[in-house]
Structure 1
C-alpha cells in the first residue's frame, strides 16, 4: 500500500472544465444532492492499491455498512499505485470522479481548488464528526488557502530514526541521548567525524523539504502561492550542511545517495543515523547482527517539537448525487473501530481520537514490529505534514540539485536557494 507521495498537479484549466458537468458516478439525487437527511442511493468508493492485500477486509466493511444503511449500494473501485494521480485527473475531466475517493493532501489540493471536493468544515453533516479525529489529522487534511478540511482523516504514518549506539559510544557520545534538535545533531556529527578520523558520518543524505520544515523554516506563504524556504533560516540550514559535508559529518556519497544507498551505508555502519521501518529490523537482524544489537530508535531531530507525518484521507465528491450516503460511508470507513481494525492489519496508525492510547500502540510486545510501532506512535502527538501539498516531484528535484551545488561550493547557500525558489515559483504559477 502506498504512503502519501507527491503527485503532478492537475492542470487548472483541465479541472475548470469539470465544474460545469462533474457529478458523482452514482448518478441520481437524494434530496437535491444534500448531505443532510437519510443515506440512500448508489455510490462509488475508490481506494489506492488496496484490493490485492485487503479484499476481504473492505468487502466486509461494505457489508457492515449496508446492513446499517440498506438503502445504499456501494461500488468499490481500486486503482494501482502507478499513475494514480493521472487516473484522478482523467476522472475529473470526464466528470466521473467517485463519490468517495482515497486521497493524500497533495492529491486532494488541485481537486479541492477546482471545487470538486466537499469542504467538510463548511458542510454541517460532515463537520459534526470533526471531534472524533485527532486535531493533527484534521489539520493534516486542511488545505492552505482553501479554508477547510477536504477529507475525512484516515490512516497516518511516520517513521522512526534508527541510530547506531556503538558508533555513538566510540565517539564519546551518550548512546542513550540521541540528538533532539538540529543544533545537537550538528554538534554530534562534528564530534563523530573528528573522533572517527572521517571514517564515520552521522548522516547519509542531503536535506529534504521535510528537514527545512523540522528546522523551523517557513516553507510557503499563507495561501500556498509562493515558496519561501530561501529566507535566512533556510540559508542557515544549507550552510550548516555545507560545513558537515566538508568536515565528514555528512557521507561523502551524500550527493548521489538514494534512500536505498543510504540504508546500505547504515547497514555497513559507515553512517550512524538513518530513517527506517520494522522491515529494516529483520534485515539488520539477519545481515548485520552487530548493528541490530546496538540499534537505537528515536524520532528525527526538530527545532519545534513537531515530528513529520504522512496523511491519508477519504474525500467526498462535492458534486455527488448522493451526498448523504457518501458522507455516511466515508465517516463509517474512518470511524474509530474500523480505523483500529485496519491498523492492526498493516503498519499504519489510526487518526481517531483516543486510539493511540490503546496498549497496542503504547506497550512494546517484544517483537520488532512492536518496538517500531510503539516508538512511531509516540511521535504522532503534535506531528505535522511538512511537505507542501503543492510541491511536485520536479520542484523537489530542483531543490535537491541546487543544494548539491551549494555543498560542492558551486554556489553559495543563499544563491542556491534563491534559484530553487525562483524556478519552483515559476512552475507553481504555470499550474
Structure 2
C-alpha cells in the first residue's frame, strides 16, 4: 500500500490555474444513463494485479451493457507529477486512484465530484466511517472519493524484555499515558533497556484532541499550552533515560529498525510486520506480542475519485462504486495485504476471525481497528513541514528551547509555507 504525502503546494498551484478551464466535454455528464467509454486510472497495480483488474472490469461491462472501461495504470514513482500533468492539460481520467492528500487540492478547485450527492450508494452506510472522513476536507463541503483499500498499524512488544524488566506483555500499554508509565517501570528495573523510542509528532496532538488546523484549513493552530505540555512530557522522558539518545539524531533509524535489532521493546507496524521482524531477526520468533494501536488507530487510505469533467459522469461513478463494492474489495484483500473499506466486509471471516496463527491474530486485530481508525495527520502537512516540526520538537525535547517556543516557531514557519500553497 502506497502511503505518502503529495506535493500539495504544487498541486494547488496547478489547480488554481485550472479554475477557468472548460471541461473535456459534457456530452451526457448531466445524464443518469450508464453507458459509454470511461477510463480507470490505477497506481502501480499492474502487472501483478492485471488479472484481478480485468476481471472486475469485465464484471462491470457485463452488468452495464454499452459500457467500456479503459484501464490506465501509472508507475509508482512520479505518480503525483502524472496527476499534475493530467490536471494541467485537462485530461484527468474519469475515475482516478487518489489518496486523500492527492485529492485535497483537486477537490478545493472543484475538479472532483462530491460522491455523497446523488450517489448510487449511500457512502456513509457503505464504507467505514474513518475512510469517508478521510475524503472530507476543511474548507470544502462533501466527500471527494470512494474509499478503496485501507491499512492501519498495530503495536508489537518484545516479550523477553517485558518479562526481564517487570512488565507483562499480555497487558501492554493501551494508551500513550500507559506507555509513559510502563516506560518508567522498565527503566527502573532495567536502566539499559528502552520501551519508548520516538519523539512526538503532530499526530500526538491529534490523538490528544488538540486542533491542529483552523476550520478553514488555512492556518496551523497547534501551538497551545496543551500541546506544549505533551512535548514537555516527552522532554522529561528523554531526560530521565526512558528513550535512547539516538531518537534525536538526524540518522535516527526509526523504532521498527531498533525493535528488529533488539534495542527497544516496542514498535508499530502493519498486520504482516511480524513476519518481517522474525525474518530479519530469527531470535524474535515466538517472542513478540501484538496488540491494538495506542489510543486511536491510524488509518491509511487509497480511494477512487471521479473527475468532475468526465463526459460520462454517471458511468464513472457507477464504475467507482463497482470497484469498491464489498465483493470486489474482499477479493482484492485476499490477494494483497490490505483491508476492504466496506462495512459489509465484516462478514468475511478471512478478515474478521482470528484463525489461531500469529498472522491471523494480527489481521483480525487490524481489521477490528478499522471501525475506529482515523486519518491522524492533516493532509496539508507536506514533507518540508514535517522536517520543520521535527527539528523544533527535537530542540525542545533536548531542552535547548521551551516546548511552547518550539511550537510557536514551527507554526510560524509552517503557516508561511501553507500561505504559499
Task: Report the TM-score range of the alignment, normalised by the length of the smaller protein.
Answer: over 0.9
2:69 is matched with 74
Q: Structure 2 residue aligned with 1:424, among 393, 414, 417?
A: 414
2:99 is matched with 104
1:159-208 per-position Cα deviation (integer Å, ceiling 9, x unaligned): 111111222222212221111222211111122122212x1111222222
- Separation of aligned partners in 1, 2:22 and 2:146: 21
2:388 is matched with 398
SS in 2 for 1:142: coil
Give the drift of 1:424: 0.6
- Separation of aligned partners in 1, 2:250 and 2:180: 20
Give the drift of 1:8: 3.6
1:329 is matched with 319
1:274-312 per-position Cα deviation (integer Å, ceiling 9, x unaligned): 01235532233344344332211112322xxx3211111
Q: Structure 1 residue aligned with 2:109, among 111, 114, 118?
A: 114
Is the 1:43–1:322 contact (alpha carbons within 8 Å) kept by the matching residues of 2?
yes
Between 110-119 and 69-78, the greater mean CA deviation after superposition? 69-78
Structure 1 residues 410 and 425, CA gap change in structure 2 (3 angstroms): same
Is the 1:22–1:92 contact (alpha carbons within 8 Å) kept by the matching residues of 2?
no
Give the drift of 1:64: 1.1
Q: Structure 2 residue aligned with 1:149, among 138, 143, 146?
A: 143
Structure 1 residues 225 and 215, CA gap change in structure 2 (3 angstroms): same
1:245 is matched with 238
SS in 1 for 2:81: helix
2:202 is matched with 209
1:10 is matched with 10
1:306-361 per-position Cα deviation (integer Å, ceiling 9, x unaligned): 32111111000011111011011000000111011111111111111131343212
SS in 2 for 1:313: strand
User: What pairs up with 1:181-192 in 2 under 5 angstroms?
Assistant: 181-192=175-186
1:222 is matched with 215
SS in 2 for 1:116: coil
- Separation of aligned partners in 2, 1:167 and 1:213: 30
- Separation of aligned partners in 1, 2:120 and 2:251: 42
Give the drift of 1:42: 1.5
SS in 1 for 2:56: helix
Give the drift of 1:65: 0.8
Is the 2:144–2:305 contact (alpha carbons within 8 Å) kept by the matching residues of 1?
yes
1:65 is matched with 60
1:21 is matched with 21
- Separation of aligned partners in 2, 1:357 and 1:381: 14
Structure 1 residues 283 and 14, CA gap change in structure 2 (3 angstroms): closer
Structure 2: runs of 5 or more not aligned = none
- Separation of aligned partners in 2, 1:386 and 1:346: 24
- TM value normalised by structure 1: 0.92
2:261 pairs with 1:263: no
SS in 1 for 2:148: strand
2:132 is matched with 138
- Separation of aligned partners in 1, 2:26 and 2:20: 16
Structure 1 residues 411 and 272, CA gap change in structure 2 (3 angstroms): same
